[in-house]
Chain A
Amino acid sequence: MLTDHAKLLRFFAEMKKVTGRKKLQKMIFILQACGVPFQEKYQFHIYGPYSEELTLRMEELCNLGFIHEEKEEKSNYAQYIYEITDEGIDFLYQIQPDMPDFANKAKLLQQESSRFLELTATMLFFRDLTKQEVEKKVHDVKPKQNYSATEMDRAWSLIESISHHQLPDNKQMH
């Protein structure tokens, strides 16, 4: 009962503060792809994997007073900052969702920029392809981002360090 909401609250309880909707979207996707049982369904959108279900659930958590959302006006866009509230912590305590410990993985992701997480999430979205195919696909679907080989290598390293499973041979880092 509302377990999926509680799982997200657990994420915010670990993170304390998450800055940016795009970052939040990509962090949850990457963790899910690495085996953390978040249930939100993702589709590929113009800026990479995106979950409407996650957006709606966040709106619910904010409306319920479990998450505090703060809007910051930037030069040409608005940025949102999310923090769990005391009521959110109380609710989480009542539900106690069954989840593995993912705090270290999430904290690794939190340090990264949303641009880099967009790249990592996009690469993971195509994880059934070979390494070469993934990199070509990233350039095809994100020509404007102009990701460098160094960024891709770093993304592969990050994926390897947070994955439960070893990557296929053709995706091992050298």
Chain B
Amino acid sequence: MTYKNEKLNEVKVFKDPVHRYVHVRDRVIWDLIATPEFQRLRRIKQLGTSNMTFHGAEHSRFNHSLGVYEIVRRIINKFQDKPHWNNAERLLCLCAALLHDLGHGPFSHSFEKVFKLDHEQFTQKIILGDTSVNQILEKVEPGFSQKVADVIGKTYADQLVVSLISSQIDADRMDYLQRDAYYTGVSYGHFDMERILRVMRPIDDQVVIKSTGMHAVEDYIMSRYQMYWQVYFHPVTRSAEVVLSKIFQRAKYLYENDYLFKLEPTHFISFFNEQPSLDEYLKLDEAIVFYYFQLWQEENDDILRDLCERFMNRRLFQYVDFNPNQQMQQVMKLTKLFHEVGINPDYYLVVDSSSDLPYDFYRPGEEEERLPIHLQMPNKELKELSRHSDIVEAISGKKRTDHKLYFPEDFLNELPQSDKVKEIKEILYGQGEVEYVD
């Protein structure tokens, strides 16, 4: 039997709180899970700083990756006898599902922004580079690693295969919504996935939903909407992200200005230079980042020390709502006043916008931007979901955006209460009520 078709003697199972069990029978999948690159995902939290808000959110990208694999495995089982489905693509789908987040680093969102990186490019590099994952994929057949990389990069010719991993209703979202709801403890991320899997139909190059399953899909869309505002974009989590970004920004600035760190930040140097090798990238996990944050709490630089102390001890920034159209001049004034009272506004006065955390709301496919969810009507005609569902139409038409101004209120209170500090407070408190991060 070829490696590609080799099966384990018995089905191996991983106990999973979301899907109950994750089943593995293919030798290739079993071997991929055992690679150092995949095991590294145990040391990267799925939700980054959300555990500052929801203390249960300690789950890792390892859990999520296994979950996506399991959902794709179940979808394929249901597709096996359906027209349009090519079962020769089965192993490719499973590998892509398992490996789709392989390039995520620690605190990806803030980290990538400051160091100008893209985890998706690293996913490609890990799959195609000199790694254990690549060796296994190439053992399946020469060129197989490129196929997996293409599916994950959405550039594979068979778009039906791509759509299982990445589309408006895909295994990736179906897993993280349920998993993140479970671990955060919120009640709004739940929907009937089993029902959705039963009404999915492969048609040409997309997966459509049998019209009788519309209500299950409505629930899934509502779940996406609510999880975004209640969990992913929670203002306290945003505050933690702001502090985190500023730590990375300060450390980079110090390195670029020949600051002498008490311990040379070896693991970060290639990131400061914005040229990490694959090996250096793989070495950096959350444990390493926390190690440096611990050390940097003892640094001589006041800003780096303070920001690390804030992050480690969850002493985050407060915030007020902010409208850049009406209040930009006040922010300019605040920037000047912060300088004058000795608080560096580059690190301590931060505007955070909803677009800083891109998250794909469901949008009907105007002008062919992206393929929307299609319902298959009894007469086999395809209809875009929001044209048939009042609930989805209402949500997808609502474009809610948001800007907040983050600042350390404790600093302002500790300063001698001069006219300038008074003016700062008047401007900030004039923006509306200060929200306390607790």
Instruction: Evaluate contact between A94 and B325: CB separation under 8 angstroms.
Output: no
Interface centre among A20, A41, A63 (most CB of B within 10 A): A63
Hey, what's the 0/1 contact readout for A82-97 against B, CB within 8 Å counting as 1? 0000010001001100
Task: Compute how far the CA of A169 lies from the CA of B407 in the bound complex, rounded to whole angstroms.
Answer: 52
Interface string of B142-164 (1 = CB under 8 A from A): 00000000000111110100000
Contact of A65 among B154, B325, B399 (CB under 8 A): B325
Most buried by B among A1, A5, A60, A64: A1
Residues of chain A in range 120-135 having any CB-CB distance to chain B below 8 Å: 125-126
Q: Which of A22, A56, A66 touches B367 (beta carbons < 8 Å)?
A: A22
Q: Number of A interface residues, CB 8 Å? A: 43
B contact residues, total (Cβ < 8 Å): 34
Verify A1–B351 contact, CB threshold 8 A: yes
> A80 near B: Cβ within 8 Å?
yes
* CB–CB B369/A25 < 8 A: yes
Chain B positions 118-141 with a Cβ under 8 Å from a chain A Cβ? 118, 120
Whether A137 contacts B358 in the complex (CB less than 8 A), given A41-B118, A77-B366, comes out as no
In the complex, chain B residues whose CB is within 8 Å of the CB of A44: 153-155
Identify which of B325, B329, B351 gathers the most chain A CB atoms within 10 Å of its CB: B325
Indicate with 1 or 0, residue by residue over B375-408, a CB within 8 angstroms of chain A CB atoms.
0000000000000000000000001010100000
Residues from chain B with Cβ under 8 Å of A13 in the complex: none
Across the interface, B159 reaches (CB within 8 A) one of A46, A59, A78, A95, namely A46
Q: Is the CB–CB distance between B401 and A77 below 8 Å?
A: no
- B366 near A45 with CB under 8 A, answer no
Contacts of B331 in A (CB 8 A): 1
State the Cβ distance, A9 to closest chain B Cβ, in Å.
11
The answer, yes or no, to whether B2 is at the interface (CB within 8 Å) is no
Question: What's the least CB distance linking A53 to chain B, in Å?
Answer: 4
A45 touching B358, Cβ below 8 Å: no
- Is there a chain B Cβ closer than 8 Å to A62's Cβ? yes
Candidates A45, A64, A125; contact of B370 at CB < 8 Å: A45
B355 cross-chain contacts in A, Cβ below 8 A? 4-5, 53, 56-57, 59-60
* Contact, CB under 8 Å: A43 / B154: yes
CA distance A137 to B154 in the complex (A): 12
A33 CB, nearest partner CB in chain B, Å: 14
Cβ–Cβ contact B368 & A47, under 8 A: yes
Residues of chain A with a CB closer than 8 A to B354's CB: 56, 60
A77 to B365, CA, bound (A): 9
Residues on B with beta carbons closer than 8 Å to the beta carbon of A46: 154, 159, 370-371
B263 CB within 8 Å of chain A:
no
Is the Cβ of A66 less than 8 Å from the Cβ of B325?
yes
In contact, B325 and A87 (Cβ under 8 angstroms): yes
The verdict on B56 contacting chain A, using a C-beta distance below 8 Å, is no
7 additional A-B residue pairs with CB within 8 Å, beyond A5-B353, A60-B353: A21-B367, A46-B370, A55-B363, A57-B353, A59-B401, A77-B366, A80-B366
Using CB atoms and an 8 Å cutoff, list the residues of chain A in contact with chain B.
1-2, 4-5, 20-22, 25, 41, 43-47, 50-53, 55-57, 59-60, 62-66, 77-80, 87, 91, 94-95, 114, 125-126, 137, 140-141, 143
The 7 closest A-B pairs by CB, nearest first: A56-B355, A140-B157, A53-B358, A57-B355, A60-B401, A52-B358, A64-B325
User: Measuring CB to CB, which residues of chain B are less than 8 angstroms from any residue of chain A?
Assistant: 118, 120, 153-157, 159, 323-325, 328-329, 331-332, 335, 350-351, 353-355, 358-360, 363, 366-371, 399, 401, 403
Q: Enumerate 12 A-B pairs (CB-CB under 8 Å) in ascending A order.
A: A2-B328, A5-B324, A22-B367, A46-B159, A56-B358, A60-B355, A62-B399, A63-B399, A64-B323, A64-B325, A94-B328, A126-B155
